[in-house]
């Protein structure tokens, strides 16, 4: 944990994190649990009124599927890649929730794909705050569905959290 906190820049006038910074930091910390060597994604679902965390999730294989028994590769035959097996962070967070997600906010480290957009919309989430953007047909489809269902999206440009890392933060 010590190395993670070294990544925070507390040399600002305000010595505390905003709610957006706090919840995105939780999403980033959750992402560190992912075993995916290519992309670590985290999600933190929050009740906007109470500022209570409802659930967190990260990308990984389903329960009971050992990380060493399935492929993490991105290229090759579809069944020899991670894609048919990985559960996305948003899906895991939704499934980890024990309460209603109506009118909640999703803080995600990467803009949701079209499949996760469907799940977020169906769960009743009304706002998606994302850190890293992407460009793809999947994002375009997600944006279309978010717009149609009146789910707000905004990118959070972190000013005080440089990065969360599990190695040397000085690099």
Burial of 51 (0-12, 13-18, 19+ CB in 10 A): exposed
User: Hey, what are 74's tokens?
Assistant: 């991105």
The radius of gyration computed from the CA coordinates of the chain, to the nearest angstrom, equals 16
In 32-155, beta strands by DSSP E: 42-47, 52-58, 105-110, 127-132, 152-155
Per the annotation, the verdict on 90 as an active-site residue is yes
* Active-site residue, selected from the candidate residues 2, 48, 90, 115: 90
User: Hey, what are 156's tokens?
Assistant: 């959070």
Q: Could you give the C-alpha distances from 15 to 57, 70, 170, in angstroms and in order?
A: 28, 44, 21
HSE-CB for 32 with a 13 A CA cutoff: 13
User: Hey, what are 55's tokens?
Assistant: 């659930």
Catalytic sites, residue numbers:
90
């Amino acid at each position: 944990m010590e190395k993670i906190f070294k990544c925070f820049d507390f040399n600002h006038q305000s010595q505390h994190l905003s709610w957006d910074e706090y919840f995105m930091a939780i999403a980033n910390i959750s992402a560190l649990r992912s075993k995916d060597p290519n992309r670590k994604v985290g999600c933190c679902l929050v009740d906007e009124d109470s500022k209570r965390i409802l659930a967190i999730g990260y990308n990984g294989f389903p329960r009971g599927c050992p990380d060493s028994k399935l492929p993490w590769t991105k290229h090759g035959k579809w069944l020899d890649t991670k894609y048919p097996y990985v559960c996305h962070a948003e899906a895991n967070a939704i499934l980890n929730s024990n309460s209603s997600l109506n009118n909640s906010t999703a803080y995600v480290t990467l803009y949701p794909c079209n499949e996760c957009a469907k799940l977020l919309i169906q769960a009743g989430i009304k706002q998606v705050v994302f850190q890293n953007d992407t460009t793809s047909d999947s994002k375009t489809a997600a944006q279309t569905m978010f717009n149609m269902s009146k789910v707000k999206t905004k990118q959070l440009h972190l000013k005080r959290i440089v990065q969360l890392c599990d190695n040397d933060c000085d690099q």
